[in-house]
Every structure is written in structure tokens, then in C-alpha cells.
Structure 1
């Protein structure tokens, strides 16, 4: 059994980044932050519904199972959320042209408008937080964030030990 001293050293900057990302995720995911965002956007949606709406806004219509897989949640969770969003008129089901037995989910006009209000409310807070940053710093940060997300997505299927996740 390997001893802790035989484990590879993690560079201090990687540890600092992990701590910062954890803190950002915590701050962004707090219930109070979500409630504030929904108050500004004037929408009565929970966090799971917002996540689904944002994802649908960035994708072609999807089957519910594919949406669940992309969000890495159980299909039943997505089904419950989609039922509520459909009742609210924010998403619609349509036949899958490739398989008449399957359905696709897409945003309605009201759903797209809701996503735009959510984005605008979020951007308002980001503009305030980043108001003192130099434009070049924002450009560099945006590029690095995209690279970070792309690398995370690319490595999502790989477990920590290097084996493929099932």
C-alpha cells in the first residue's frame, strides 16, 4: 500500500485554483444567490429548472434521456423538472423526426425569454463585480475560463486514476 509521501506532489498553484473554484462554485450556488437572481429576473424557478433552461438554450432540441446524461443526473429527475417547465409554458415536447416513438424537448418563446432574463440578471452582478478590471484582463480571464471548461469536459469521462469512468 503506497504511503502518502509516495503520492505525486500537487503544485501549489493547482491547489490554489481548486480552492478558488470551490469558493466560486459555493458562492454561485448558494440558495440566497439563486433567490436574488430569481427576484431580479422576476421568475419563480428553482435551481434545477434554471439549469435545464440554460442547457436547452445552448443546444438543439434534445431527448429527455440525453439531457439527463449531459447534466449527469437521473432521467427521473429531468422528467419531473420537464413536466413542471412544460406546465409553465417554458418548454415543449415534439416528436423526434428520427424516431417517431421518441420526443424532443425545446424551449418555447417564453422559455427563451426566461433564459434571457436570467442571463441579464446574472450579467448585472458580474458587471458590478468586475467593474474595476482592465479590459485586457477580462479578455485573458474569459479565454482561460473557456480553456479550463473545455479541458474539464474533455476529461470528464476519465476517472482520477486514469481509467475510463463507466
Structure 2
């Protein structure tokens, strides 16, 4: 797992020079959740608010996200992907998919199915653990 995480961090810079693995992860989360607040990101990833603040500032400066007032409470600002943010996220996602396809070429169908099943199982367990931890 450590080697897997190291490769993921190392490959992030190769996929897009402006996008770290953390930046990619935050952009992906904002896309999936159709925006969100910095405090929600900090809580979701278990990161310090100052860490998220630095990441958000960098993403804003790069023009990949923007702050918008929340229509339900104008005192609150949500973070949303810009068109440029969506484009870069799509490019990096496609690059990552291509890299996975290259690594898995030649694998037998049964091996791919087992591998996919294990990943689904692992992610479901991790998500359940995350939700249980959030309820504490």
C-alpha cells in the first residue's frame, strides 16, 4: 500500500505539472459533490483548516476553483470548479485511466474481475470506516 501511495503521489506531477495529488483529490471531491465549503473538505479528509486553506488559495490562484455565495445563506461561500478546473480534472483523469489501462494490459479477464472486486470491497470498507469515524 505504501508503494501504491508513493506511485500515486509521484505520478500526479507527471500527469499535470500544476496539480498535486492533494489538488487533484480536492478538485475531484468538489466535482463529485457539486461544490462545497473549505470546512467540509477539512472534515472529510481529516486535514487541518490551514492546510485546506493553502490548497484552496493555490487552486483559486490557478483559476481552477472559485468562491460563490451560498444562495441559502449569503454569509457562506462555497467552492466550485471553474471551466478551467473541469478541463484540467478531465485531462488528468483521462491520463490516469490511460496509465491504468497500460499497466493492466495482458491481464486475464478473471484476474481483472477479481482485482476490481477487491478494490470495490476495499473502498466500501474504507468508506464505512470513514463514516463511522465521522459519527464519533
TM-score range, shorter chain: 0.7 to 0.9
Would you say how many aligned residue pairs link Structure 1 and Structure 2? 136
Structure 2 segments unaligned to the other structure (5+ residues): none
Higher Rg of the two aligned structures: 1
Cα deviation 1:120-157 (Å, max 9, x = unaligned): 11112111100011234323322331221111121236
In 1: Cα distance, 2:115 partner to 2:57 partner: 38
In 1: Cα distance, 2:115 partner to 2:64 partner: 33
Shift of 1:111: 0.4
The 1:94–1:165 alpha-carbon spacing in structure 2 relative to 1, beyond 3 Å, is: closer
Tell me what 2:130 maps to: 156
Alignment of 1:26-105 (within 5 A): 26-30=6-10, 33-38=11-16, 43-105=17-79
More helix by share: 2
1:126 aligns with 2:100: yes
1:24 aligns with 2:4: yes
- For the aligned residue pairs, the C-alpha RMSD in angstroms reads 2.2
